[in-house]
Amino acid sequence: MIRKMSRNRRTTLIFAGFVTAVAAAFYPIFFHPMTHVHEYKQVQTTNRAGINQADVQPVGVKVWSDPFKSK
């Protein structure tokens, strides 16, 4: 015998699914970089090696700064 799911339970499951999807989307964008700062510092050091920052910045724009440095 198949029971019908109550309206409140279905609404709760839909809402929980939405929250789970949003959390899954935010993890690699926001939380992973914050918890693995050392990895991202190494990648940026490698990517920016040999680049003269003043040559690639547009005129009148502040030269790059270290995004990992505390403010």
Tens place of pLDDT per residue across the chain (71 aa): 556 668 889 999 999 999 999 999 999 998 898 899 899 889 988 988 888 877 777 777 776 677 777 76
Q: How far apart (Å, rounded) are the C-alpha atoms in residues 41 and 47?
A: 10
Q: What is the pLDDT of residue 38?
A: 92
Q: How far apart (Å, rounded) are the C-alpha atoms in residues 60 and 54?
A: 10
**Helix, strand or coil for residue 63?**
coil
